[in-house]
Amino acid sequence: MPEDPRPLSEGAKTAAVRVAGKHRRVQPFLRGRNRAVVVEPNITDRRQAPGSEQAVVGLYDYSNNRSLVAVVDVKSEEVLHVEETPVQFQLAPDEQKEAEALAAGDSRVEEFLRNREMNPITRLYFPPQAKKDSPPHRYAIVFVRPDDDERRFVVVDLSEQVVVDVFGPETLPG
């Protein structure tokens, strides 16, 4: 385990993504629409050499709807491991912003808000209709909360960059 597992600087994060992108197994992920959704220090590998700065880079390929993990040493600019994984990483901050912008632009949301602030909470979502997608898409749900009493829930398909549903508490079971 690293001696001082501090968060990576923005420069180290950018470098980690750049280093990962040079690897032959990562390059196919970078051909279509993609995003680094996780870039964090590797705090679990006890075999790290003293002075190394390892990072875990999680990439999501929207074109083919798949996830990949690369472990890189930022200082030596070496890719240590690459593996495709069936997991869905939590939403990256820029994915949250993208989902919120798509939700805000939907006419049903605009009508509901009537010029009020959205006050959104946005999370990764696995809607029932996701089973129809082959390969699976990446979804977010945006909780639109202009005040303490009113809510709308906006399902956003991040793979297709579209709003697929807007509903209120009255449509929820129970």
- Contacts of residue 167, defined as CB under 8 A and 6 or more positions apart, other chains included, come to 152, 153
pLDDT, tens digit, for every residue of 24-49? 999 988 888 899 999 999 887 667 77
Alpha-carbon distance 98 to 116, whole Å? 19
* Residue 5 confidence class, pLDDT cut points 50, 70, 90: low
- Contacts of residue 74, defined as CB under 8 A and 6 or more positions apart, other chains included, come to 8, 12, 15, 16, 19, 53, 54, 55
Per-residue model confidence (pLDDT) at position 134: 73
* Residue 172 confidence class, pLDDT cut points 50, 70, 90: low
Residue 72 pLDDT more than 50? yes
| Cβ neighbours, 10 Å, residue 32 | 10
Return mean pLDDT, the chain.
Answer: 89
Mean pLDDT of 161-172: 88
> Tokens 């992920």 sit at which residue?
29
Lowest mean pLDDT among 21-35, 41-55, 71-85: 41-55
Helix runs in 22-171, H state only: 93-104, 107-113
Helix runs in 22-164, H state only: 93-104, 107-113
Residue 2 pLDDT more than 60? no
Distances in Å between the alpha carbon of 163 and those of 27, 90, 155? 29, 19, 6
Encode 66-81: b = buried (16+ Cβ within 10 Å), e = exposed. bbbbbbbbbeeeebbe
Lowest mean pLDDT among 3-7, 56-60, 67-71: 3-7
Mean pLDDT of 125-139: 81
Per-residue model confidence (pLDDT) at position 48: 72
| Structural domains of the chain, with CATH | 10-85 (3.10.450.40), 93-171 (3.10.450.40)
DSSP state of 1: -
Residue 1 pLDDT more than 50? no
Residue 91 pLDDT more than 70? yes
Phi, psi dihedrals of residue 119, rounded to the nearest 5°? 45, 60
* Residue 102 confidence class, pLDDT cut points 50, 70, 90: very high
